[in-house]
Structure 1
Amino acid sequence: MSGILHAVFFSPTHGSKKLALAVAWPLAQALGKELCEHDLTYPPGRAKKLCCGPDDVLLLAFPVYAGRVPRLLDGFLSVLDGKGARAAVMAVYGNRHYDDALLEAVDALQKRNCDVVAAAAFIAEHSLASAIGTGRPDDRDMELAGEFARHTAQAILSGHAGPVAVPGNHPYKELPPAVDIRPKTSEACTQCMLCASQCPVQVISEDDPALVNQGCIRCCACVKACPEQAKFFDQEPVLKIIAMLEEKCRDRKEPEIFTV
């Protein structure tokens, strides 16, 4: 087969990228396609328009935010030109639930003239609560990522049309009201500026990392990137979410795979 496999991922804390590439490499090999990576984590990547060809395959991977596709991807998805390309989606969540995110992603790609024939929900360590999904994706997750690649290749080579059936509801889960919560910075900060470079919305000052502008999405990229553990959230709403997760979401969830 000719064409390109477009591996598209938004991955502030790297879990979605790791899983996307674990699927993309064997999938590209199985289909005989060139692999092209599209990183949507930072604004320049999200500003580019992706135009697929009819022989192309699109793999979209993203972290689940409040049971939905991250709103930061709305602009990119709204101008995507699928041209009938086959597609697969991966929703990566922090061991709570993916709610309507998988369905929303399938719907979004179908609207952009992609034929979505496979989908999966995978687990990564929760960005806010490291005790939830600790160490994931792990070896078993990566093994299942390879299995998802095989199932997706089979679905594409079979010639069956999508969309793949996935769990979820219409209308989608209502998003919570926007709140202005920004990370704090302790005196341990050495001003290495790694946090600013890792912020997907670029709201951390490049002159003073303790200065954070409005617009934080609480992805925790800065928290996890800081070598001194100087970035943190301790606001009451965040602490309540962490307490809920630690009480109710410790039992291991397993990946789910769906194909036509």
Structure 2
Amino acid sequence: MPSIVRAVYFSPTHTTKAIVREVASALSAPLSATIETTDLTLPRQRPTDVSCNADDVLVFGFPVYAGRVPVLLRDEFAHLEGHGTPAVIVGLYGNRHFDDALLEAADLLSERGFNVVAAGAFIGEHSLTARVGTGRPDSADIAVAQRFGAQMGARLAQSRSVPEPTIEGNRPYRELKPGADVRPITTDACTNCGVCVACCPLGIIDEDDPALVDAGCLHCRACVKSCPEDAKYFSSEPTDRLIAMLESKCLERKEPQLFW
């Protein structure tokens, strides 16, 4: 049976998707493998069962939120099934730090029968401010992702018995404090086009009145970035404080970190 590289990702603003696809494409070439993609971003796409054979390779990607795996993805791991399948983790963070997210993902995948063989922490534009991680991932990040995938593909082509890497992070994981109930604000420029409704990963924007947003917002800014009229934005005391901290302490460019 031919090998399949299964690219699975959650990517509200498409940056994680970009890195995962580059890694998966480069990884597949040395293995002469096909690529199958599973997008977990939208509510109608979850849950999706993904079963991997021992000859397959899983590339699993997600954005880092508060130094952890996104909470809504935790249930999705129960729908992933590995049989000693090599797994490569891609975590995309907003130029602050990825904290314990990669380690947490490795633990969750190991519980589902995967052998984690590599992990990469890549940088994307921060979800709350475009001044932090501006334009990331950029061409240099893409080149790193391509080399990362190609080198892992070559290693796996030689032997599937690749030792588990030491991934940066701590157990117990970084504590997740209750988030403030902050929702996007909609201006009078809104034309009710429905773009934000269609791209919300939680499906919490009202179809008839996009200014109405239910509780549970991830602050991923998919609605803000996708709005053709620039009619959505975030502003609140908690988010303004966080943005001020990020813009004062996290402007210096960070580079991808690879663990293998």
2:224 corresponds to which letter in structure 1?
Answer: V
Instruction: Provide the residue aligned with 2:231 in structure 1.
Output: 230
Distance 1:96 1:158 in 2: 36
Please tell me the residue identity of whatever aligns with 2:168. Answer: P
- Give 1:71's aligned residue: 71
Q: Which amino acid letter does the alignment assign opposite residue 139 of structure 2?
A: D
What amino acid does structure 2 have at the position aligned with 1:128? L
Gaps of 5+ in 2: none
Displacement, 1:93? 0.4
Q: Provide the residue aligned with 2:215 in structure 1.
A: 214
TM-score by length of 2: 0.97
| Aligned-pair CA distance for 1:111 | 1.0
Q: Deviations over 1:29-65 (max 9, x none)?
A: 2211110000010123221111111111000011000
In 2, the alpha carbon distance for the partners of 1:14 and 1:116 equals: 24
* Residue of structure 2 equivalent to 1:121: 121
Give the CA deviation at 1:154: 3.0
CA distance in 2, matches of 1:64, 1:33: 28
Distance 2:158 2:63 in 1: 29
**Does the 8 A contact of 1:106 with 1:163 survive in 2?**
no
Gaps in structure 1 of 5+ consecutive residues: none
Secondary structure of the residue aligned to 1:47 is coil
What is the RMSD of the two structures over their aligned residues, measured on CA atoms?
A: 1.2
1:46–1:75 Cα contact (<8 Å) kept: no
- Superposition deviation, residue 106 in structure 1: 0.9
State the shift of 1:176 in Å: 1.7
The letter of the residue matching 1:187 is: D
Structure 1 counterpart SS, 2:35: strand
Q: Distance in 2 between matches of 1:178 and 1:135?
A: 26
**Is 1:166 the counterpart of 2:183 in the alignment?**
no
Moved over 2 A (4+): 157-163
1:125 partner letter: E
The amino acid across from 1:181 in the alignment is V
Structure 1: how far apart are the matches of 2:181 and 2:164?
Answer: 37
Shift of 1:158: 3.8
Aligned to 1:193: 194
Aligned to 1:149: 149
Matched to 1:21, the amino acid is R
Q: Which amino acid aligns with 2:171?
A: H
Q: Look up the match of 1:246.
A: 247
The CA distance in 2 between the partners of 1:129 and 1:226, in whole Å, is 16
Identity %: 49
Q: Conserved in 1, the CA contact under 8 Å of 2:84 and 2:115?
A: yes
Which amino acid letter does the alignment assign opposite residue 254 of structure 1? E
Query: Aligned pairs, how many?
Result: 259
SS in 1 for 2:61: strand
Please report how far the alpha carbon of residue 101 of structure 1 lies from its aligned counterpart in structure 2 after TM superposition: 0.4
Which letter does structure 2 place at the counterpart of 1:76?
Answer: E
Are the equivalent residues in 2 in contact too, given 1:195–1:222 (CA < 8 A)?
yes
